[in-house]
Chains A and B, each alone.
Chain A
Amino acid sequence: MSDVPLSHILFVSTALFFIGMYGLFTRRNLITMLMSIELMLNSVNINFVAFNKYLFPQNLEGIFFTIFIITIAAAEAAIAIAIIINLYRSHQSIDVEDATELKF
């Protein structure tokens, strides 16, 4: 386990974060944009656990941050899906280009 340096784990999580960012930029469907946001949140969690393991193995702070982020991400996903379903009822579409009422 000691022959994988910390920077390689950081490379993986950075690549996952930018994959999620690419999805957020190119997708125009609200559900797929939500999926990209979940990928980005997960890459941040990997960073927290890796830093905790490699730099401060006597503490548990990274584990707690990861658990709280997972909790808040679950609440965020539930709210987002409720909003998406409500938007679909009123607009018959969940494309972001169709929801333009608040755009000036």
Chain B
Amino acid sequence: MSASAIIFYVIAAFLLGTGILAVTAKKIFRAAIWLLLSLVGIASLYFWMAVEFVAAVQIIVYVGGIVVLIIFSIFLTQQSGREMPGPSLQRIIFSLLAVVFGLAFTHKLIIDHGFDNAVSQPFKVAVSDIGLQMLSTTEHGYILPFEVVSMLLLAAMVGCIVIAMKSKQTTIPSPQNTEEN
């Protein structure tokens, strides 16, 4: 077993362990921190696969963007130190059954298919190649999805501001806040 294989198994154990802790932690703030560590583990797996650009994008967008957004929303919506009520035993049992059977089924599919002919060829991803193909208008270019996704991001930004904007007129009356209005 070479050093690179050992590094792969260490990264895999790290990201799976922190992922399990992220979905089972009792305190929501700790769950967010475990999620952050799991996303860093995934970024290091991208570094191991020698796709540095995707790893950098992963760290910038997920670790620097989404997790910070999640932590802000945790602070805005609840007491982060309080323990969340755990799920009922019945729900845990049935979720575990579904997960274990799904995992076993998918692993059997992967083993049966084999992927024996898949050998790791040298895989060089230059950032200039990614940029050239992203903005190319030829057959394998990605200029149309690039433009569509820019419109999607603009629409998402406007939509977020409109949804989260505080307005007195359009508050939905509900049993909790009718008495204070």
| Contact indicator A71/B23 (Cβ below 8 Å) | no
| Contact indicator A7/B70 (Cβ below 8 Å) | no
Residues in B whose Cβ lies below 8 Å from that of A75:
152-153, 156
Contact partner of A3 (CB less than 8 A), chosen from B1, B78, B111, is B1
CA distance A81 to B20 in the complex (A): 23
| Contact indicator A42/B39 (Cβ below 8 Å) | yes
Residues in A whose Cβ lies below 8 Å from that of B134:
64
| Contact indicator B70/A31 (Cβ below 8 Å) | yes
Given known pairs A4-B4, A11-B107, A77-B66, the reply for A70 and B61 (CB within 8 Å) is yes
CA distance A94 to B80 in the complex (A): 13
Residues in B whose Cβ lies below 8 Å from that of A15:
16, 103
CA distance A51 to B19 in the complex (A): 22
Tell which of B23, B69, B107 has the most Cβ of chain A within 10 Å: B23
| Contact indicator B23/A26 (Cβ below 8 Å) | yes
Residues in A whose Cβ lies below 8 Å from that of B53:
63
Contact partner of A14 (CB less than 8 A), chosen from B87, B106, B157, is B106
| Contact indicator A81/B1 (Cβ below 8 Å) | no
Contact partner of B69 (CB less than 8 A), chosen from A4, A64, A67, A81, is A81
| Contact indicator B22/A23 (Cβ below 8 Å) | yes
Closest-by-CB residue of B relative to A74 is B61
Q: List 29 A-B contacts (CB under 8 A).
A: A6-B120, A7-B110, A15-B103, A16-B42, A20-B19, A21-B98, A22-B96, A28-B85, A31-B70, A31-B77, A34-B70, A38-B39, A50-B49, A53-B49, A53-B51, A63-B54, A64-B142, A71-B61, A72-B152, A79-B156, A79-B159, A79-B160, A82-B163, A82-B164, A85-B76, A86-B163, A86-B164, A88-B76, A93-B176
Interface residues of B (CB under 8 A from A): 1-2, 4-5, 8, 12, 15-16, 19-20, 22-24, 28, 31-32, 35, 38-39, 42, 45-46, 49-51, 53-54, 57-58, 61-62, 65-66, 69-70, 72-74, 76-78, 84-85, 87, 91-92, 94-96, 98-99, 102-103, 106-107, 110-111, 114-115, 118-123, 125, 129-130, 133-134, 142, 145, 149, 152-153, 156-157, 159-161, 163-164, 166, 171-172, 174, 176-177
List of 10 A-B pairs having minimum Cβ-Cβ separation, nearest first: A23-B23, A25-B95, A75-B156, A82-B164, A82-B163, A82-B160, A54-B118, A57-B121, A26-B87, A6-B118
